A = this chain, B = another copy of it.
């Protein structure tokens, strides 16, 4: 009889990764309006561009694209079995660029290239850096980003010969931001979009409290995570999690990102279209039952011609309204309520 483990995938351990290695991730995924409906039900986003085919056509597109975060979650989910099944921690994102809009009917697949490896001094773990690319059925890249995670070694004695830490940009340069082909905000309907705030109205340094709070239930985060075929055990295996000090399933960080992004409508009504992810940190774990609040800060502005772009910092908290903008202090220590610090570029229409 065959051994059990030859067919069950144990995931990769740190010594399994090699610099320059390309991982082809399983399970291509056709995106549908069913996914969009579930995304709406799970987060309640109100950005018109993703909500209405008619509105999207008024912006020069053939129909409503899906929220770029849907593409991100799908591609990210595919990488989990190969990259982070044995991860101790998800350390960061960088150089995330949305390269082409995704529409219902498109099929996404993903590959990851190992661009960095750094063993930790304890000899038990190491940090793996991958650049992941999501591609549609035409072979066109729709998304690219770097992620680094701390991964366990299977065998502490395993020697890691080739190591390197890649140099990563702190933010995607405006020249590298890609607007969806055909995007034309010249007839933008500000009333249907929900607010008159244009690119010109936002100032660097401006902070916006998004006011509303959104509770997250166990069933919701499990559905949200399975929808993207993300298999990380910590989100689902309550039997095993009962032995963790928390005793709880961990909410997938992407749920916090999407929840906070949906809340950001209140103040950033015209800045729904993410163009790039400069960085992101899941500052503290989040568990079901908590209520997410969020605030944003305008970090930078760039005029892309057909649209403006805002570089935004989206900070999410747990059980803490954000009128006082809970943040990190001078020594970089975050307020205990903060669970997410996410840095991205979004397109926003110009007034003229």
Contact = CB atoms under 8 A, between A and B. Distances in A.
Contact of A237 (B2, B213, B223, B231): B213
Interface in A268-300: 268-269, 289, 291, 293
> Which of A32, A137, A207 gathers most chain B CB within 10 Å?
A32
B109 A209 contact: no
Interface string A249-274: 10000000000000000111100000
A214 B236 contact: yes
A4 B219 contact: no
A122 to B, nearest CB: 26
Contacts of A227: 37, 40-41, 44
A226 B43 contact: yes
Given A26-B48, A237-B214, A203 B1 contact: yes
A245 interface: no
- Taken together, the copies of this chain in the complex come to 3
A291 B236 CA distance: 8
Contacts of A203: 1-2
B219 A291 contact: no
B239 A291 contact: yes
B30 A223 contact: no
A191 interface: yes
Interface string A49-77: 00111110000000010000000000000
Interface stretch (A162-170, A171-179, A193-201): A193-201
A26 B8 contact: no
A244 interface: no
A124 interface: no
A240 B213 contact: yes
B36 A239 contact: no
Contacts of A320: 239
A8 B209 contact: yes
Interface residues of A, number: 92
A83 to B, nearest CB: 14
Given A26-B193, A37-B35, A7 B267 contact: yes
Contact of A26 (B41, B46, B209, B236): B46
Interface string A105-134: 101010000000000000000000000000
Given A203-B1, A215-B249, A46 B24 contact: no
A222 B41 CA distance: 8
Given A9-B195, A210-B8, A267-B7, A223 B46 contact: no
A41 to B, nearest CB: 4
A39 B210 CA distance: 29
A224 interface: yes
A43 to B, nearest CB: 7
18 contacts: A1-B205, A4-B267, A7-B197, A8-B210, A9-B195, A27-B194, A33-B34, A34-B35, A34-B36, A42-B223, A44-B225, A53-B107, A212-B231, A213-B236, A213-B239, A215-B239, A239-B319, A239-B321
Given A34-B37, A44-B230, A212-B233, 12 more contacts: A4-B207, A8-B208, A8-B267, A26-B191, A26-B195, A28-B48, A28-B54, A30-B51, A32-B36, A43-B226, A109-B192, A237-B291
